[in-house]
Chains A and B, each alone.
Chain A
Amino acid sequence: MPSLISSLYVQAEALNAFEQAIAVTQANVANASTPGYATQTQSLEAMPEDISRGAVGGVETGAVVSSRDQYAEQAVRNQQTALGESNQSVDSLTSLQSMFDVTGTSGISAALSSLYQSFSAWGQTPSDGTARQAVLTAAGNLATAFQETASGLTSAATTANGQLQQTVQQVNTLVGQLQNLNSLATGDNGNNAGLDAQINATLENLSQYVPISATEQTNGTYTVLLDGQAPLLIGSQQFPLSFDLYQPDNSTYPNAPPLAQVKAADCSDVTSEINGGQLGALVAFRNTVLPSYVGDGSQAGSLNTMAQQFADTVNGILTSGNISDASADGATPAVQGVPLFTYDTTDATNVAASLSVSPAITPSQLAAIDPGPPEVSNGIPLALAQLENPQSSADQIGGESYTAAFGDMASQAGNLLNQATEDQQVAQTALTQAQNLRQQQSGVDLNQQAATLVQYQQAYQANSEMLTVINQLLLDTINILTPST
């Protein structure tokens, strides 16, 4: 039997514990509508009862434990990061897609089609000045379309640079706010639920921009790392990010558009650590998507490659022809054709932007005669018109026509946008899911949670199997509906 003193000790400790629990409850009520606030739970732990060693049983006060579990908070932040990334991707890719009209009513696709038609019309009347002028006009329009598309992509890169700069500043501002909150938390030893709510709300806000991991320290402050690596905040010290443009060393194309770079406070390159959030989407758009069209230090870009190959092919066909035949007596030699297009030959990443019709060429200088043998008076315009549906691999780009290649470029942009839009919808729902999970977890004791987790495991297994069955049935459905060719 415990002594009287021991009994009193138990009662005193229990009372003290319950007083603290009530205080926590009051804080919960007061902060119920604070954004980012999670229920605080006073945990009461059973003390061992061992009278021989003076252990008297009952309960003792544990530290006030925040039921805002770090894991649940990080899960919500991860989904915020995914949503921030997909929102930004949709925004950037929507502007990109508008530059690639494949309906044939504007842009490169329409200009290509018009040029092929002008080649064909010229082939019908090879000496007709109007038909020749129409070729020059259509070629000029195509060059302009390439220039405008290149200019649009350059403009998109400039916009992305500005957004990157702003986003980095926004990240630094939010980390600065957390730095101030950390200073306040140090004084409270992490026992201020309202402050904790502010910190978590700011961390959630920050996670839209960059992937972060945040860990609460024993003194109540938060350490924030960029994707678990570069520090952004440790205690009261902030490590600000910075944005820069750079050209990689040993670039194959040293005059190519520079790449975006995000640097840590120690000036180290942390761009590769930014794999999500709004900043991650901007980096991916700026350093991966745009260069695939307009090039960077290691690639010319598909738009430039297409512009160069098309110009070279047309020029090659024209210069293989003759503007006029040699005189019958041989006194006057045949006049060889001249190139139609010019471009910056010193920079493969500047071809589309610099493509133009040679300023020196006149309609009469368009070579129509294929010298053969046999000589064909309209052989060159016919060969040029054939480019619309090329049979020879030399007249193709990547094994297909130029029209199809442009369609591929456009569909690449369209596919990226479709994927980003689907990701955006899922990310929005997944964020709500993570918030629901956090809410469900808040305030649940470990015994209850351990039992529920077993239930979850069984449910996931069953749902996963069901989904596998449905996916197979959907595949069969699509096969049934797809007409066999």
Chain B
Amino acid sequence: MQTDVASGLAAVRLEMESASRALELASPEALAGCEAALGRAAAVLRQGHREWDWKSAGVAARAEAERLPSVARRAGRLLSSACRYHEGWRRILFSMAGGYSARGEAVSLPAPRRISLEA
């Protein structure tokens, strides 16, 4: 039995929204979950292109399709902001601790001899 296009696209949207929620947390574990959700969304779409009954796609399917780019843009923007944050911090951290290379790039952080107490 062929999957209804609207339902299929709704499933893709739910995976994308789940990816956005993971990006909101932006912990390493959440980012792994984000990648998995995006992977599932891509797999559903790929399979859908081959197997869904596109000829019977109606207003509901089009409405779902119109929502998807905005959901994808949201995930993209959250990915960018988190990536920008960590890249900026990586540069600052590495240049503070390790200095700059001859090419002006932050060099890798050497293991500092430091212990710290955390509250």
Q: How many residues of B contact A (CB 8 A)?
A: 62
For window 452-466 of chain A, which residues contact chain B by CB distance below 8 Å?
A: 452-453, 455-457, 459-460, 462-464, 466
Q: Mark A424-445, 1 if CB is under 8 A from B, else 0.
A: 0110011011101100110111
> In this complex, which of B19, B81, B94, B114 has the most chain A Cβ atoms within 10 angstroms of its Cβ?
B81
Do B31 and A463 have beta carbons less than 8 Å apart?
A: yes
Say yes or no: A446 contacts B78, CB within 8 Å: no
Q: For the complex, is A473 an interface residue (Cβ under 8 Å from B)?
A: yes
**Would you call B1 an interface residue if the criterion is a C-beta within 8 Å of the partner chain's C-beta atoms?**
no
Residues from chain A with a CB closer than 8 A to the CB of B48 are 477
B119 and A40 contacting across the interface, CB-CB below 8 Å = yes
In chain B, residues 18-32, which have Cβ atoms closer than 8 Å to a Cβ of chain A? 19-20, 23-28, 31-32
Tell me the bound Cα distance from A478 to B48 in angstroms. 13
| Cross-chain contact of A21 among B97, B111, B117 (Cβ < 8 A) | B117
Among B9, B73, B93, B114, max chain A CB count under 10 A is at B114
| Contact of A463 with B65 at beta-carbon distance under 8 Å, contacts A450-B109, A470-B45, A474-B45 already known | no
Question: What distance in Å separates the Cβ of A369 from its nearest Cβ neighbour in chain B?
Answer: 51
Supposing A470-B38, A476-B49 touch, asked if A44 and B117 sit within 8 A by C-beta, the answer is yes
- Whether B85 pairs with A437 at a CB distance below 8 angstroms is yes
Q: Which of A28, A72, A433, A440 contacts B119 (CB 8 A)?
A: A28
Decide: A477 and B79 in contact? CB cutoff 8 A: no
* Shortest Cβ distance from residue B80 to the other chain A in the assembled complex, whole angstroms: 9
For B92, list chain A residues within 8 Å (CB). 71
A-side contacts of B27, CB under 8 Å: 436, 440
User: Contacts A71-B92, A480-B54: A470 and B42 contacting too (C-beta < 8 A)?
Assistant: yes
Q: Taking the nearest CB of chain B, how far is it from the CB of A161, in angstroms?
A: 32
| Majority secondary structure of chain B interface residues (helix, strand, loop or mixed) | helix
What is the minimal beta-carbon distance from A86 to any residue of chain B, in angstroms? 12
A426–B78 touching, CB < 8 Å: yes
Chain A residues with CB under 8 Å of B112's CB are 446-447
Per-position binary interface string of chain B over residues 24-63, scored 1 when its CB falls under 8 Å from any chain A CB and 0 otherwise: 1111100110110011011001101100001001000110
CB neighbors of A among B91-118 (8 A): 92-94, 97, 109, 111-118
CB distance from A228 to the nearest CB of B (A): 15
Query: Provided the pairs A430-B77, A459-B32 are in contact, do residues A473 and B49 lie with their beta carbons within 8 angstroms?
Result: yes
Q: In the complex, A350 Cα to B119 Cα: how many Å?
A: 66
Nearest Cβ on chain B to A220's Cβ, whole angstroms: 20
Q: How far is the CA of A434 from the CA of B77 in the complex (A)?
A: 13
Partner of B57, one of A21, A456, A457, A481: A481
In the bound assembly, the distance between CA atoms of A107 and B98 in angstroms comes to 65
Q: Is the CB of B119 within 8 A of A474?
A: no
A40, A72, A422, A447 interface centre (most CB from chain B within 10 Å):
A447
Q: A392 — which chain B residues lie within 8 A by C-beta?
A: none
Q: In the complex, A75 Cα to B89 Cα: how many Å?
A: 10
Residues 62-80 of chain A: 1 if any B CB is under 8 Å from the residue's CB, otherwise 0? Answer: 0000000101100100010
A25-B34 Cα distance, complex, nearest whole Å: 35
Q: Are A456 and B28 in contact, CB atoms less than 8 angstroms apart?
A: yes
**CB–CB A447/B78 < 8 A:** no
Chain A residue nearest in CB terms to B90: A453
Q: Verify if A218 is at the interface (C-beta below 8 Å from B).
A: no
The contact sample of 19 A-B pairs, CB cut-off 8 A, is: A24-B117, A24-B119, A42-B116, A43-B116, A75-B85, A429-B78, A430-B78, A430-B81, A433-B25, A436-B27, A445-B114, A447-B112, A463-B31, A466-B38, A467-B76, A470-B41, A471-B72, A471-B76, A473-B46
Q: Could you list which residues of chain B lie within 8 angstroms of chain A, going by C-beta atoms?
A: 5, 9, 16, 19-20, 23-28, 31-32, 34-35, 38-39, 41-42, 45-46, 48-49, 54, 57, 61-62, 65, 68-70, 72-79, 81-83, 85-90, 92-94, 97, 109, 111-119
Q: Which residues of A contact B (CB under 8 A)?
A: 18, 21, 24-25, 28-29, 39-46, 59, 69, 71-72, 75, 79, 422, 425-426, 429-430, 432-434, 436-437, 440-441, 443-447, 449-450, 452-453, 455-457, 459-460, 462-464, 466-467, 469-471, 473-474, 476-478, 480-481
A-B pairs with the 7 shortest C-beta distances? A459-B31, A28-B119, A466-B38, A450-B109, A473-B45, A460-B83, A46-B113
